[in-house]
A = this chain, B = another copy of it.
């Protein structure tokens, strides 16, 4: 599995992904699941992926190659985030159809993957989409300002409790990291290092990326402070009485 979360807030976008890929517990590897496509002062697009690694890598490779070759349509030509999501969905369909066509009958390999696409294209606000394995997609709104893909359940309660549309980006990143940390502790299929990105609305600046390793001082502080805060809160709860 994998765990990726993306948030579309008033001030911009927050992305965080783990990097573990596994095919069974004895075949574990590290792959980055957060990919950025940008062009100065015009667009920043961030793609996160969970699911079949062959499929997600092919989707990223095709999207990149078509930008390089200036082949139409490509992500640098998309007029809106909606058009970009459509293009990513179509590329995903193309890969899944190509790979599953050769599948032996009776095979149960799942070629699907889920993608999160967030970013901003000049002329419209920043937006966030969840693209399903079938290539169709939904968009985050004020009511539901975040999406998760992969092993999402462990880390959902904390986001549901603290995230609001007007949460500052730096605090929202804390929330995403605590959500991932909760998942890391309870599920082996999610692992370090983490890749994060913070995008400030209307900045068209893709430099807010960082890789967080096991010994990252900020992440260690967050983990410790969160754990201690939870335990303090827990100790102060009124104990059960019949």
Contacts and interface: CB of A to CB of B under 8 A. Distances in A.
A168 interface: yes
A169 to B, nearest CB: 8
Interface residues of A, number: 48
Contacts of A161: 185, 227, 230-231
B233 A218 contact: no
Nearest to A181: B157
A239 B153 contact: no
A222 to B, nearest CB: 6
Main SS of the interface on chain A?
A: helix
A173 interface: yes
Nearest to A207: B242
Nearest to A196: B240
Interface string A209-226: 010000000100110011
A111 interface: no
Nearest to A233: B229
